[in-house]
Amino acid sequence: MPHVGAPCSCRGALPHQNEHKNSAFLGETAARKSEGLRLRWDNIDFANSQVTIDGPTKNAKCRYIPLTDFAIGYLRSLTRVVGCPLVFLKHDRTPWVGPRETCYKARTAAGLEWVGFHDPRHFRITQWVKHGVDLRTVKELAGHSDISTTMRYAHFAPKHASKLVREVERAELRELEEGLSEQQCSDFVPTSQSKG
């Protein structure tokens, strides 16, 4: 699996990516390179902070991805070319075909030599899993045709599970500290001590 950076390092590369602005979009939405290159302005719903990723994807399905505030701000900062439906264009206002070269130049300028072309997508999927988005939802957001692909990211989830258990424990302690009455406590008498 590709390297996964921290949000500060991945977003820190963006100012250097003058002509390869779609890297920011890939890193915030987990879209595929081809999906970023095809993105049209009418795919972006600013009012509802959502983007529509339509076909052809690998499994020919349309999907909807919520946009972060960072993504909204970044997309709003882009210049819209009159008469062209595409969001991401080259400096000469022609569509991108395969912008790998500018991506690699950008990573050098940002001091992130370890960044690969597909890392922005993997970064976002990893962040979703690490912060508790369930794997089936991640599957839909990422456009995976099979859950087994999403399961490759499952090893990022254990820490989150531990965090949730601790949060439940803290909530239970708060309830006790708030002073459950003796009658309320009696509801929790073990079955072996209750009248049958």
In this predicted model, what pLDDT tens digit does every residue of 107-163 receive, in sequence order?
666 565 555 666 778 888 988 988 888 889 999 999 998 999 998 888 777 666 667
**Per-residue pLDDT, 18:** 46
Q: Which domain holds residue 169?
A: 158-187
Q: In this structure, are 12 and 106 located in the same domain? A: yes
Q: Is 83 left (phi over 0), alpha (psi -120 to 50) or beta?
A: left
Decide if pLDDT at 83 tops 80: yes
Q: Is the peptide bond before 56 cis (omega within 30 degrees of 0)?
A: yes
What pLDDT score does 46 carry?
96
Q: Let me know whether 26 and 108 are in one domain.
A: yes
Q: How many structural domains is the chain composed of?
A: 2
Phi, psi of 157 (to 5 degrees): -90, -25
Are 90 and 168 members of one domain? no
Which pair of structure tokens corresponds to residue 156?
């990022």
pLDDT at residue 159, rounded to an integer: 67
b (16+ CB within 10 A) / e for 147-171: eeebeebeebbeeeeeeeeeeeeee
Which CATH number belongs to the domain containing residue 44 in this structure? 1.10.443.10
> Does residue 73 share a domain with residue 15?
yes
pLDDT band with cut points at 50, 70 and 90 for residue 90: confident
Question: Token digits for 142?
Answer: 């990422």
* Residue 191 pLDDT: 54
The answer to whether residue 131 sits within a structural domain is no
Residue 124's identity, in one-letter code, is: R
15-68 pLDDT per residue, tens: 445 455 777 788 889 998 888 888 999 999 999 999 999 876 455 678 999 998
Q: Do 66 and 12 share a domain, yes or no?
A: yes
- pTM over 0.75? The answer is no
